[in-house]
Amino acid sequence: MRRAAIFDLDGTLIPRSSAEWRFFIHLLRKGGLTFFDLTHMVTTLFTAKGNLHEMTRANKRYLRGKPVAIIEDVARNYFEPKVEPLVFPVMRAVIEAHREVGDLLLLLTGTLDVIAACFVRRLRFDGYRATALETKNGKYTGLVNGFMPYGMGKLEILRNMRHEFKYDQNKTSFYADSYSDRYVMNAAEEAIAVNPDKALRSYARKHGWRIIDARQGLTKTISALRR
């Protein structure tokens, strides 16, 4: 069984500002979202009553009723030309080092699958798991389909990925930036904290994990993201 290198997206491969948030702003600027879309999302966020997990699920409601094919095209046209300049140069080198020794390259992220797919295609990864939305008659319902890749949910998805992609769980490297990812990082043979938040940096030092500060050239990277 092959080794696997598994990467988070936001904050790990690209600057911490969410790829999905950038996509949301892009849709808003291009007229792809209506006032009703926004009010529906705000209403569902309010009913979550501060529950972080429910708020994360609710903030997908802005895509309710949107045709899947159109959203896929918009995401592809927006993200794919930006992937190379967005990914930290240090992390591009890490990816290539894993590729050279034949490791499986996988993405595990809480962002929308339609966004994750763009990065997977351009970076030539072997597979991914991201937040999948329920669809009906070719349109999004606004509901999340299955587990969300966040916290313990991410750990459950990681277990399923091992069976699907047939890699050796004892020969796995996991790259992430957030303390909420400590569960999946503990499940890997090698955990690497990339641009870690304060809590994860402390946790990584305590456990002797490698830390990568990949934010060199950050100004140029953020500029590419905003265009």
Q: Quickly list DSSP for 196-207.
A: --HHHHHHHHHH
Q: Quick one: pLDDT at residue 41?
A: 63
- Residue 66 belongs to domain spanning: 2-226
Q: How far apart are CA 204 and CA 196, in angstroms?
A: 9
The domain tally of the chain equals 1
Q: Quick one: pLDDT at residue 143?
A: 86
Which ranges constitute the DSSP H helices of 148-214? 152-165, 182-186, 198-207
Q: Which letter does DSSP use for residue 115 in this model?
A: H
Is residue 116 within 8 Å of 130, Cβ to Cβ? yes
Q: Quick one: pLDDT at residue 42?
A: 64
Q: Measured in whole angstroms, how far is the alpha carbon of residue 3 from the centre of its chain?
A: 21
Global pTM value: 0.86
Tell how strand 127-131 and strand 133-136 pair up: unpaired
CATH number of domain containing 198: 3.40.50.1000
Task: Sort 201 into a burial class: Cβ within 10 Å, 0-12 / 13-18 / 19+.
Answer: middle
Q: Quick one: pLDDT at residue 40?
A: 63
Per-residue pLDDT of the chain (227 residues; tens, 9 = 90+): 789 999 999 999 998 778 888 898 899 888 888 877 777 666 655 554 544 444 455 567 889 899 999 999 999 999 999 999 999 999 999 999 999 999 999 999 999 999 999 999 999 999 999 999 999 999 998 888 888 888 888 888 998 999 999 998 889 999 999 999 999 999 999 999 999 999 999 999 999 999 999 876 544 444 444 44
147 Cβ contact list (under 8 Å, min separation 6): 153, 156, 157
